[in-house]
Structure 1
Amino acid sequence: MTKKLLFQFDTDPAPSVFDTVVGYDGGADHIAGYGGVTPENVGAYVDGTIYTRGGAEKKSTAIFVGGGDMTAGEAVFDAVKKRFFGPFRVSVMLDSNGSNTTAAAGVALVVKSAGGDIKGKRAVVLAGTGPVGMRSAVMLGKEGATVAITGRDQAKTQKAADAIEQRFGVKVEAIEAKDETSRRKAIEGANLVFSAGAIGFELLSEEAWKSESSIEIMADYNAQPPMGLGGIDAMDKAKERHGKIIYGALGLGGLKLKLHRTLIGKLFESTEQSFDADEIYALAKEMA
């Protein structure tokens, strides 16, 4: 039987252990990880995947692009696909920092809790300039929500918003929010609130969000205390608190891991698969 080979191209100096474990759990027989991958050096790696096997065996070779920097990952992902031509291609997936699968799981579950339709709702992604926040903004926008992302620096936040529009055609508002007072103001009138900040930093206290009557659903991607949203638990999964539906990071994590594993398996179904935000989110909605 032809071995399922997954080649992990990581933009960080060393390949991610997390992604390696999930790769095996998703069905790869062997994973070869390469660190420090760039658009300039990835070509030789790609050539090794596309010029070796032929016929039905070729679908048993696949590429996973990862690393902590989504912008760098996007550049490598694009360079990989540009190397393909005709039948000389294999399936490829982008999930830098787990951002595609994490955001897809979070948004899919929130949309499900909203009855499957968030058109016209206002969504705010707190600390939304990182990979998970930006991908969440994309998915929310494509669902028809009016989306804003916040950040501590207006220029950086606007740069993230511009990058979202350039790559995905989704326009989002950039809001500077340096402290809890400004973050509290940012969520006024919001129906959906996501917390995508760094580990160990509370973005909103319980007092700051519990009395905001417009909020229907909240999701926090931070699994380590303190939570990004005060007064919630990482295990919350559609838990009602103060009249709002709450998702904690571990409440989202089951779908995220299941989604990641399923996508790895799908890479080996053909040589034509290409998984980025849109494709990953579509599958998340099916699985939610």
Structure 2
Amino acid sequence: MKKLLYQLDTDSIPSVFDNVVAHDGGADVVVPYGGITPANVGPLVEGAIFTRGPKDKKNTALFVGGSDLVAGETLFSAIQKQFFGSFRVSVMLDSNGANTTAAACVAYLEQGRSLAGMDAVILGGTGPVGQRVAVMLTQAGASVRLVGRQLSRTQGVCERLSQRFGMTITPVEAADRDARGAAIRDAEIVVSTGAAGVSMLEEGQWSHGSRLKLIADANASPPLGIDGIDMKDRATPRHGALAFGPLGFGALKLALHRECVGRLFESNDQTLDAEQIFERARALLAQS
């Protein structure tokens, strides 16, 4: 029986990236749908849960993607509300690659060390990847500050994360590069998750950080978000800290994405979001 993955994208045009990785992850057929919302997803979910017998339902799965994490979370929740009893299929959320990218990054940051009690700062943190990095660093025991350009928006993001995950993340406003430099002054961990092509920090702003131990950049489009880091850095010593570039943890991100897709077809009752995907990243890295 063919393994069918229905790619439900909140954007009007479904992601080619997600489609390719889904095939590589073990789906025999990937059917992409764009412009999916809670209002129109119902018939698609019904088609997935009512068409195969109990033993065969594991061969149908759903993937929620798109560039908007909030829209993805809302759709993800709406899908699960339609499940009942054994009438359900496995579903994964990875809007904008946020869960898999963040999980790969944080898994490397904590490899061989404890992050418990460490002071972490997320630059450009109000975006999808930044939000998930903040969640996972907090789950790993770090004290997290989320930095954004507008305080009201940053506060709103932190409040939403607190409600969703039951954790405390501190909002910080930093409208320009100088303010971002001030925000990281006492940080032990710095992760940049800003928009592609936006320089978040100059090398001189972090190279003299007396407490800085770990620094990572998730932006794979030149110029990098943090000057002085190489795209391929993976625990590379730089100015007394270990640096991680986007390609340094990118291979794990792709492997994780594929592995999670494959797991969807192991049973029909799996729900893969931040917590579950982070645990898979830890396990994959431990096996490597």
TM-score class, shorter = over 0.9
Residue 173 of structure 1: how far off its partner (Å): 0.7
Aligned partners of 1:132 and 1:167: how far apart in 2?
A: 16
Alignment partner, residue 17 of structure 1: 16
Amino acid at match of 2:74: A
Alignment partner, residue 267 of structure 1: 264
Match of 2:158, SS?
helix
Aligned partners of 1:116 and 1:245: how far apart in 2?
A: 12
Amino acid at match of 1:152: R
Alignment partner, residue 119 of structure 1: 116
Aligned partners of 1:194 and 1:255: how far apart in 2?
A: 17
Alignment partner, residue 223 of structure 1: 220
Residue 117 of structure 1: how far off its partner (Å): 1.1
Match of 1:184, SS?
helix
Alignment partner, residue 43 of structure 1: 42
Residue 116 of structure 1: how far off its partner (Å): 3.3
Residue 55 of structure 1: how far off its partner (Å): 2.7
User: Of 143, 147, 171, which residue of structure 1 is paired with 2:140?
Assistant: 143
Match of 2:249, SS?
helix
**Would you say the 8 A contact 2:58–2:266 is kept in 1?**
yes
The RMSD of aligned alpha carbons is: 0.7
Residue 138 of structure 1: how far off its partner (Å): 0.5
Alignment partner, residue 249 of structure 1: 246
Aligned partners of 1:116 and 1:91: how far apart in 2?
A: 33
Residue 236 of structure 1: how far off its partner (Å): 0.8
Amino acid at match of 1:214: R
Amino acid at match of 1:235: K
Aligned partners of 2:195 and 2:44: how far apart in 1?
A: 33
Alignment of 1:212 with 2:209, yes or no, is: yes
Structure 1: stretches of 5+ with no match in the other structure: none
Aligned partners of 1:150 and 1:21: how far apart in 2?
A: 33
Farther-moved stretch of structure 1 (165-174 vs 17-26): 165-174
Aligned partners of 1:157 and 1:12: how far apart in 2?
A: 24
**Would you say the 8 A contact 2:54–2:86 is kept in 1?**
no
Structure 2: stretches of 5+ with no match in the other structure: none
What does 1:94-109 correspond to in 2, within 5 Å?
A: 94-109=93-108
Amino acid at match of 1:29: D
Residue 121 of structure 1: how far off its partner (Å): 0.4
Aligned partners of 1:61 and 1:91: how far apart in 2?
A: 8
Q: Cα deviations across residues 213-239 of structure 1 (Å, max 9, x unaligned)?
A: 111011100011111000111111111
Alignment partner, residue 67 of structure 2: 68
Alignment partner, residue 76 of structure 2: 77
User: Of 163, 168, 173, which residue of structure 2 is paired with 1:171?
Assistant: 168
Aligned partners of 1:179 and 1:283: how far apart in 2?
A: 36
Normalising by structure 2, we get a TM-score of 0.98
Amino acid at match of 1:82: K
Match of 1:231, SS?
coil
Alignment partner, residue 6 of structure 1: 5
What does 1:181-192 correspond to in 2, within 5 Å?
A: 181-192=178-189
Normalising by structure 1, we get a TM-score of 0.98
Aligned partners of 2:277 and 2:207: how far apart in 1?
A: 32
